Structure 1
Amino acid sequence: MLYGLNALSPIKTLTLISLSAWTGVAMGAAKPDFNHEIRPILASKCYACHGPDEDKREAGLRLDVREEAVKEAIVPGFPEKSEFWHRLVTTDKDDIMPPPSSPKQLTEKERDLLNRWIKAGAEYQQHWSFLPVKNHPLPKVGNAVGVRNGIDLFIRQKLEKNGFPPSAEADPITLIRRVSLDITGLPPTPEEVAAFTREFESSPRAYDQLVDRLLASPHYGERWGRHWLDLARYADSEGFLGDKVRPNAYHFRDWVIESINHDLPFDQFTIEQIAGDLLPEAQVPQLQAVGFHRNAALNTEAGVDKEEARFQNLADRVNTTSRVWMGLTLGCAQCHTHKYDPITIRDYYSFYAYFNNTQDLAEPKTKAQTLAEVTENRRQAYVHLAGDYARRGPDVIPATLSALPKLKTTSDAEQTRLDLAKWLVSPQHPLTSRVAVNQVWSKLFGTGIVSTPDDFGTSGESPSHPELLDWLAIHFMKNGWSRKELIRLIVTSATYRQSSLHRDDILETDPLNRLLSRQNRLRLEAEVLRDSFLTASGLLSRNIGGPSIKPPLPGDVFDVGRSVKWELSEGNDRYRRGLYILTMRSILYPMLTTFDAPDASEACVKRDRSNTPLQALTLMNDPVFVEAAQALALRVIQESPRNTAARLNTLFHRCLSRHPRPEETQRLLAFHAEQKARVKKGGADSLQVLSFFKDQVPQKDAQETAVLVALARVLLNLDEFINRE
């Protein structure tokens, strides 16, 4: 459907009365903010047909640039004289926009905003994320009671504006469990909980000291390394039909864990992954770091067009780099100019040119070396028309995106990946620091300040707290790009420490909790869930780094002619943390994928959190969970006196970090009696129930241990266990 602006005919069905009604609504109302109120409407409802993409543009109308929009469609200050406005409110189905066939229809609120915007002068702004990061002053609030740092002031200001108080602080047991899971990915031990609750009552510094201990733990690097491996699309195999194992892939994983544990500044962390091999006198760690580019799937099968495979591989590097560091969907410009953002197809292939002379080494000199920059017979880069590797358009040279600050160089030589990496972490770059702090925030609250972490463009969501996002980005850079310092700031805020209890007073106004009047309750991620089972049972091996492991699998998942046989890891390796499980692209580890672990086909910026019946079945029947329940029961038998109530108390502390409530004790004692009677009557074979550990259970304890397995499975399957409050 076209606007038909070449001949601006009057809208016969639009009455003067309706126009007057709309302009009356606009009188006296606040001027809309273009970036946060108007642009999202235009981007969602209009830009697909009237945006940057010239090939897809209809009726010659462009609405993403003011100079074009005001030529014929919009008369600033006068919605009633604007053809754009007429098309939004007419009742003529042939003229109305968006057309009736479009699934993206305007709401009355959106029409009102557009009317007020035109009446106020139809001013445009550069998209918020392309503007320089601004150091906003800390806001003043009416009630500063409980404020712990600058984060709380920004959150409190918006809560007060909407008439909501913050939630009370969570209890100390919830706090230690929450922050332990968030920082290390492991639940606290009963001993750690007991020590912290004592300190919490006597020292105002107890929580801050706990945070410092957790950030100093080597398991911090494992937890936050797993987050980065999602972004790096890490896997232990090449993918495609052959899906050959990459035996040295784990070196990159080890580098990530070690770098995060040592708090390698994020700017250097970035440079080493994008261009570590180009650093002067690059050492083994820098060569391991550029494994970031080798993590993608690679098609090495016979008969494959090598040039096409190379093109796809380089495109993956472009798309991944842009999503991970800039939060831009650059891949949308691979075939044509971006429909929503100011990114041309030439921009895309100029960015592509940075990677065009990077050679993947099939036989590197060292296990760490995976890439090399070609210095002779360098390839010329081209625009590939319609994204087709075989259709070459104009020549291009390496260059950064035209909509962003230019790369400043002191040499006339062709720019390299090292130049690109330094440009990304320049303090003048408007995206990198914002995207990085938003990623960290999203891991600690479940949702980022920008809820579309891989789309900071015009079709993404606006930040819920834009000034806070910039304040955090400035803080991040001023503190040496320290990830640890950023996490410390966030988790010590009163905002983070709030209770996650449901609040009826905000449900209707803020159902998604974007104002953060409380903490968010989050289902544990796949690896953390597995690690929590193993921790509670005492089975977890805390060894760090090294080759991937192969824990038990259900059935014969891998016996289908694959290039690798799933030979079970022995000893403690069987119980290592989930991030060390061998990741095959063709067949993912079932338990992890059931709980939404990514498939490594592309960078995963935000994991799904689904809720399916299969998850409940997995918790009850997956080998590792069955084994953990048996080990936990055996542990309780060995640690607790022959007293059912005492053993029940031990189970609660191992699983939930707390005492059972009276009603819970009553119900579980009754359940214990039922299960004991069932075992005595032969309704359950004790040794079969203890299948993994039957050789370790004395005959006299077999029946009681079997009963405790049932109790353990109840607690390990509670929502309280599989969720982080």
Structure 2
Amino acid sequence: ARYADSRGFGSDPLRPHIWRYRDWVIEAFNKNKPFDQFTIEQIAGDLLPSPTLEQRIATAFHRNTMTNTEGGTDDEEFRVAAVKDRAEVTMQVWMGLTFGCAQCHNHKYDPLSQKEYYQLTSFFNQTADYDQPDERPTMPAPTEEMLAANAKIDQEVAGLKQKLEETTPELEAAQKEWETTLKLPTDWQGLGIQKSAREGVWEVMPSGELTMVRGMRWKGASSSDGLRLKRVSAEPIPPVKGQFVRIELPGEKKILSLAEVEVLSGETNVAKEGKATQSSTSNDAPAGRAIDGNRAGEFAQETVTHTGEEANPWWEVDLGSEKFLTEIRIWNREDGVAYRLEGFRIVVLDAARKEKWERSHIPAPERSLVQEVRYDIVDPIRLSAVVGGGEGTYLIPKRIDLSAERVELLIDGNVGEVQLEATRGGELANRLGVSEEILKAIDVPAEQRTAEDIAKLGRHFRSFTPMLDGVRNEIAAKEKSRPAYPDLPIMQELPSDQLRKNYVMVKGNFLMQGDEVKPVLPVAFSREEELQPGNRMDLAKWLVSPTNPLTARVMVNRLWSQIFSKGLVETEEDFGTQGELPSHQGLLDWLAVEFQSPGTVQSPGTEGNGTAWDMKRMIRLMVTSATYRQSSQVTAEHLEKDPRNRLYSRGARYRLEAELIRDQALALSGLLSRKVGGPSVFPPQPDGLWQAAFNGERTWKTSDGSDRYRRGMYVFWRRTVPYPSMAAFDAPSREICTIRRSRTNTPLQAF
């Protein structure tokens, strides 16, 4: 059924977790899951009422189609290809029909029309997968061992979390100390303000002993005043004095390119009289272009500077002597590479080249940037009532020294009679980021707190106190040790309002839509009452229904072939008119009925035994038969009358398949690992095989220990590069479904 650990086509990306479906199949056979359930769960397990994890894993059977992730491919084309593959594989595996022959025209030999082909593919056309690289839809598919490990971790984590809920005298003392750091400040002092010449700007007048300010508030303001502090700026007293203005662009492989730089002292651009240099010059674009007075930002106009591609490029202007600086204006390029300035730095240096002022990590301006040489604090944090600071209270991100800095406020609203107050404000900063309910509880005096407040504060403190870091680290380590669940692609039906329409595809071309069709069963194999539109569940149930004439026959014939080397119908893949007739028609019919409805036709030794669709019972029935237990020795009479042993005149004797040859060699040497289930393994193979096929994109990491000697069914299978020893014995690539393998008869195989 084309099982593989990769997706196929040229790049053949890996499908690393599909082994969870293989485990499901192995477990189903080991536990003797009835074949009708085995069928329904694989084709439509997701449509069962409240499907279990295992039933949804089963649907990965039809998600293991090939998908094409190569660039330039049409997702719809390969989605349709997967839908066709699912329909054809279903009919081959369960019905033994060459259904794919009806894709482009009516079947030439069997009673299957092209319309019926697309009616049947319609059952699979309503799933949510769409040939995507991430293989959606997928689901976590943990093993029982993973679930048990997770449950153990859950139990251990729960015990550790209980420790976080417990208090101690040491924790209580630390909590009291923490609470004092969140009390509202009491050192508010009034400040004078005077209106500046600029609209909306007020200058702060220091008063009293308060010099270091972190918080401000309007005393007497109400929400109706609409008073808002938009911006606080501070500049050194005296202003910055410098001789050099330097622009740097930190990082590897950077190019610094500027249109214009203006350095203002008051209203005068003093940069024009300076001398510009840069770390390197490329493309005949010297540093002087940035101070030539031309703000045009296009390289073609020869108005921009340009360094070479290098680490940490810089541009600098020497003003000739130290000057008081008020603004630096930078004009960026406008010809598509403006982003190059992202993260630049401006530095003002004095005559001794000591830094006097700097700004770092400045975003690239879209066109121009006016950078005032002052300490701008944009968007002060407004502390609302939920923080307990009042509607007019603000936290200033940077502490301001009123004795050394000139402070200006940009204000919205009417100041009127409102007074500005300030505080050192350390407590305000501590309150930032603390939730409203915690702050409200803290603001209540300790002796007046309710039991709920006390519990709330205790939980919050224990959630971050370093005293419990050890417990939290232990929890984090436990969480990190959780097993990663395999992510498995599964079948999932589209919502009812997103269902696709189904069409006959003219000549099999997905772009040429013919008549619209419904999901209906083939007429030749169905009763009239079954010919109604349905879904995958209806199809799955029909496959194993008593009215279906083929499924039971096809399955017992396949079991017979595994045991006797050939099926009663030798063409296992074709029960149609071009297939071989049964060598023993009556035996095939009896086995099919005995498989589907045990005891319906009485036979010695089978009366009243068995349950329907019992796989192990059928195998036991075959291997305990006199036919199977006879000698495989060939006599002259056998060769004359039954050369191909189609009359079963002797026991079966045949070459083993590729995987079994390897398993047999390992078993005889005593090396075979009999471990069941788990991820695919990587036994030794020639070096460089994957690198040669995929340009070194992925490597074959040879497994260690017993994993080198696992059964062949567990060997990682890449569709375009099969495992060499198995390819040597004609194991199929698994790109398509292969019902009957060709026999390999070579000297190496015999050896």
TM-score, length-scaled by structure 2: 0.50
SS in 2 for 1:496: helix
**Whole-angstrom distance in 2 between the partners of 1:594 and 1:365:** 36
Is the 2:521–2:530 contact (alpha carbons within 8 Å) kept by the matching residues of 1? no
**1:394 paired residue number:** 515
Q: Report the CA distance between 1:234 and its aligned residue.
A: 0.1
Partner of 1:309: 78
Given candidates 721, 728, 732, the residue that maps to 1:598 is: 732
Aligned to 2:57: 288
Distance 1:369 1:344 in 2: 32
Contact 1:273 1:291 in 2 (8 A): yes
* 1:586 matches 2:720: yes
CA deviation profile, 1:67-125 (whole Å, cap 9, x unmatched): xxxxxxxxxxxxxxxxxxxxxxxxxxxxxxxxxxxxxxxxxxxxxxxxxxxxxxxxxxx
Paired residue for 1:568, among 677, 687, 702? 702
Does the 8 Å contact 1:245/1:564 carry over to 2? no
Q: SS of the counterpart of 1:359?
A: coil
* Distance of 1:407 and 1:604 partners within structure 2: 32
Per the TM alignment, residue 520 of structure 1 is displaced from its structure 2 partner at its CA by 1.9
Q: SS in structure 2 opposite 1:539?
A: coil
Per the alignment, in what secondary structure is the counterpart of residue 84 of structure 2? helix
Q: Which residue of 2 aligns with 1:507?
A: 639
CA distance in 1, matches of 2:44, 2:559: 23
Identity of aligned residues (%): 49
Residue 483 of structure 2 corresponds to residue 483 of structure 1: no
Distance of 1:237 and 1:588 partners within structure 2: 10
Match 1:373 to one of 480, 487, 493: 493
Following the alignment from structure 2 to structure 1, what is the Cα–Cα distance between the partners of residues 720 and 667? 29
Identify which of structures 1 and 2 has the higher relative contact order when contacts are C-alpha pairs closer than 8 Å and 6+ apart: 2
Offset of residue 555 of structure 1 = 4.1
Q: How does 1:161-240 map to 2 (within 5 A)?
A: 232-240=1-9
Report the residue type matching 2:37 in the other structure: Q
Q: d(CA) in 1 for partners of 2:558 and 2:69?
A: 33
Structure-to-structure mapping, 1:463-474, within 5 angstroms? 463-474=582-593
Matched with 2:315 is: none
Shift, 1:365, TM fit: 3.6
Asked whether the equivalents of residues 347 and 401 of structure 1 are also in contact (C-alpha less than 8 Å), the reply is yes
SS at match of 1:395: strand
- Pick from 69, 73, 88: which aligns with 1:300? 69
SS in 2 for 1:383: strand
Q: Aligned residue for 1:420?
A: 539
Between the aligned partners of 2:549 and 2:137, the Cα distance in structure 1 is: 39
Structure 1 residue 532: deviation in Å? 1.5
Corresponding residue for residue 318 of structure 2:
none
Contact 1:382–1:396 (CA under 8 A) maintained in structure 2 = yes
The CA distance in 2 between the partners of 1:466 and 1:358, in whole Å, is: 39
1:434 to 546, 553, 556: 553
Amino acid aligned to 1:598: P
**Helix, strand or coil for the counterpart of 2:643?**
coil
- Give distance in 2, aligned partners of 1:545 and 1:353: 34
Structure 1 vs Structure 2 CA RMSD? 1.6
8 A Cα contact 2:94 2:554, kept in partner? yes
Following the alignment from structure 2 to structure 1, what is the Cα–Cα distance between the partners of residues 137 and 63? 13
Give CA deviations for 1:468-516 in whole Å, capped at 9, x if unaligned: 0000001101231011000000000000001111121132332211111
Q: In 1, Cα distance between the equivalents of 2:77 and 2:711?
A: 38
Residues 254, 278 of structure 1: alpha-carbon distance in 2 compared, 3 angstrom cutoff:
same
- Superposition deviation, residue 294 in structure 1: 1.2
Question: Mind listing any 5+ residue stretches in structure 1 that lack a counterpart?
Answer: 1-231, 617-718
Residues 562/482 of structure 1: CA separation in 2 closer, same or farther (3 Å cut): farther
Displacement of 1:596 in angstroms is 2.2
Q: What number of residue pairs does the alignment pair up?
A: 384
Match of 1:241 in 2: 10
Structure-2 separation of matches of 1:389 and 1:256: 33
User: What CA distance in whole angstroms lies between the structure 1 residues aligned with 2:587 and 2:697?
Assistant: 50
For residues 670 and 640 of structure 2, the distance between their equivalents in structure 1, rounded to whole angstroms, comes to 43
Report how far residue 562 of structure 1 moved. Answer: 5.1
Check whether the contact 1:385–1:393 (CA below 8 A) recurs between aligned residues: yes
- Cα distance in 2 between the residues matched to 1:347 and 1:409: 14
Q: Deviations over 1:282-335 (max 9, x none)?
A: 111111111110112111211101111111111111110110000000100000
The one-letter code of the counterpart of 2:743 is R
Native 8 Å contact 2:119 2:518 kept in 1: yes
- Counterpart code for 1:380: K
Tell me which residue corresponds to 2:336.
Answer: none
What amino acid maps onto 1:236 in structure 2? Answer: D
Choose which of 670, 690, 697 in structure 2 pairs with 1:558.
690
Match of 2:676 among 544, 547, 554: 544
Whole-Å separation in 2 of the counterparts to 1:234 and 1:434:
23
What secondary structure is seen at the aligned counterpart in 2 of 1:520? coil
5 Å matches for 1:24-423? 232-360=1-129, 361-362=135-136, 364-366=138-140, 367-368=487-488, 370-375=490-495, 376-406=497-527, 408=529, 414-423=533-542
C-alpha distance after superposition, 1:576-633 (max 9, x if no partner): 11111000011010101112222101111111112235x36xxxxxxxxxxxxxxxxx
2:662 is aligned, of 530, 534, 552, to 530
Deviation at 1:542, TM superposition (A): 1.4
| Per-residue Cα deviation, 1:313-362 (whole angstroms, up to 9, x for no partner) | 11111110110000000100000000001110011000011011012252
Distance 2:719 2:548 in 1: 34
SS at match of 2:689: coil
Letter in 1 for 2:8: G
Q: Per the alignment, do residues 420 and 563 of structure 1 end up closer, same or farther by CA in structure 2, a change over 3 Å counting? A: farther
1:193-213 Cα distance to aligned partner (Å, 9 max, x none): xxxxxxxxxxxxxxxxxxxxx
Q: Structure 2: which 5+ residue stretches go unaligned? A: 130-134, 141-486, 598-610
Residue identity matched to 2:10: L
Partner Cα distance (2:633, 2:509) in 1: 52
Q: Give the AA of the match of 2:59.
A: V
- C-alpha distance in structure 1 between counterparts of 2:90 and 2:669, whole Å: 40
Moved more, 560-569 or 376-385: 560-569
- Distance in structure 2 (CA, Å) of the matches to 1:482 and 1:359: 33
Q: Residue 311 of structure 1 aligns to which amino acid in structure 2? A: V
CA positional deviation for 1:369: 5.2
The one-letter amino acid paired with 1:470 is: D
Aligned equivalents of 1:331, 1:486: Cα separation in 2? 30
After superposition, the C-alpha distances for 1:136-172 in whole angstroms (9 at most, x for unaligned) are: xxxxxxxxxxxxxxxxxxxxxxxxxxxxxxxxxxxxx
State the TM-score, normalizing by the size of structure 1.
0.52
**Which structure carries more helix by proportion?**
1
Within 2, Cα distance between the matches of 1:515 and 1:317?
A: 36
Cα distance, 1:368 vs structure 2: 4.3
Amino acid at match of 2:673: S
Amino acid at match of 1:482: D
Q: Given that residues 5 and 716 in structure 2 are in contact (C-alpha distance below 8 angstroms), is that contact kept between their aligned partners in structure 1?
A: yes
Contact 2:18/2:489 (<8 A) preserved: no
**Partner residue in 2 for 1:520:** 652
Q: What's the offset of the Cα at 1:445?
A: 0.5
Cα distance in structure 2, aligned partners of 1:288 and 1:261 = 17
SS of the aligned residue for 1:263 comes to coil
Cα displacement (A) at 1:402:
1.1
* Contact kept? 1:385, 1:391, Cα under 8 Å: yes
Report 1:594-673 matches (<5 A): 594-613=728-747, 615=748
Opposite residue 537 of structure 1, the aligned amino acid is S
Contact 1:285 1:368 in 2 (8 A): no
Radius of gyration: which is bigger?
Answer: 2
Name the structure with the higher strand share: 2
